[in-house]
Amino acid sequence: MRLSGAGVDSARLDAGLILGAVLGVDRATLLAENTRRLSAQEIARFEALLARRLERRPLAQVLGHREFWSLDFLVTEATLDPRPDSETLVSAVLTACGTRPPARLLDLGTGTGCLLLSLLTEWPGTWGLGLDRSPEAAKVAALNAHRLGLGARAAIVVADWSSALRGTFDVVVANPPYIPEGDLAGLAPEVAVFEPRKALVAGADGLDDYRRIVRTLPDLLAPGGLVALEVGSGQADAVAGLLSAQGLVVSATVHDLAMVERVVLAKKRLANTPISH
């Protein structure tokens, strides 16, 4: 198979998903109709999409969308591909908030809007704001909000982290760039070549953007407010230290399905709450 020869690990699955997209059917229907003959137009469309995947372009960019938290998100070259690892953050935040959904939610570096919009679907009474420094990514997030019926409760703003913000939020989430500069070249072409570099790389140790974000959190979080940061492998302790240095109380680190410490949770102390020793 050509995809296998190009180094695509999930060659059979990807070919099936591309064919399903061409025919407008899901994988189960495709398997049930495996004797169907393709038209010349369908073959041409399949070959065009396959050629893009053979370049090692991410499948989500080839298809133009990706499922995340059982929702369908548009994906372009301006955004990261929503990953299952990031669903760990959504789950962790929902668990931490329990039966008390926040009134105001902030997503820093929203990309496709997958974190913001997934949480808003779980919290019908919550209003959310998504920031991204890329105008192109912000457009994608706004389109996703509209497609998911969340346009009235989700505002998308072009800004560099929290530089343009005023007021406080009950929950702040972020999946910032965390790949060390020297590690990018060793990643798969789907990431290193085709995903937006500014959404991936954050200095020599991968922590530059965390340093910028955590400095703003004491002013952004309401008393008792929660912050949830996705982190790269081996970065949880360092990020927890940055949060603690700003006076925030680190409450948990959460592992993803691969048992990598993927999310760090912290809270802002309530007013008049003493620091314990």
- Strands 169-174 and 65-68, by their bridges, are unpaired
Query: Rounded to whole angstroms, how far apart are CA atoms 223 and 247?
Result: 12
Residue type at position 124? P
Helices (H) and strands (E) in the chain, counts: 11, 9
pLDDT at 277: 44
Phi, psi of 127 (to 5 degrees): -105, 140
CB 192 within 8 A of CB 201: no
| pLDDT tens digits along 75-93 | 999 999 999 999 999 999 9
Q: Please tell me which residue, 47 or 240, carries the higher pLDDT value.
A: 240
Look over the chain and give the mean of its residue pLDDT values, rounded to a whole number. Answer: 91
| pLDDT tens digits along 135-189 | 999 999 999 999 999 999 999 999 887 666 778 999 999 999 999 999 998 999 9
Give the pair of three-digit tokens for residue 208: 């530059």
Strand order in the sheet with 261-267: 154-158, 127-132, 104-108, 169-174, 221-230, 261-267, 249-255
Q: Report the b/e string of 135-173 with b at 16+ CB within 10 A.
A: eebbbbbbbbbeebebeebbebeeeebbeebeebbbbbb
pLDDT at 10: 82
| Residue 12 confidence (pLDDT) above 80 | yes
pLDDT at 33: 67
Give 113's Cβ-side CA count (13 Å radius): 32
Q: Sketch out the chain's domains with CATH numbers.
A: 2-55 (no CATH), 65-267 (3.40.50.150)
pLDDT at 6: 76
| pLDDT tens digits along 259-277 | 999 999 999 988 655 554 4
CB 243 within 8 A of CB 214: yes
Distances (CA, A) of 173 to 131, 155, 162: 11, 15, 12
Helix axes 11-23, 40-54, angle to 10 degrees: 140
pLDDT at 246: 96
Residue type at position 40? A
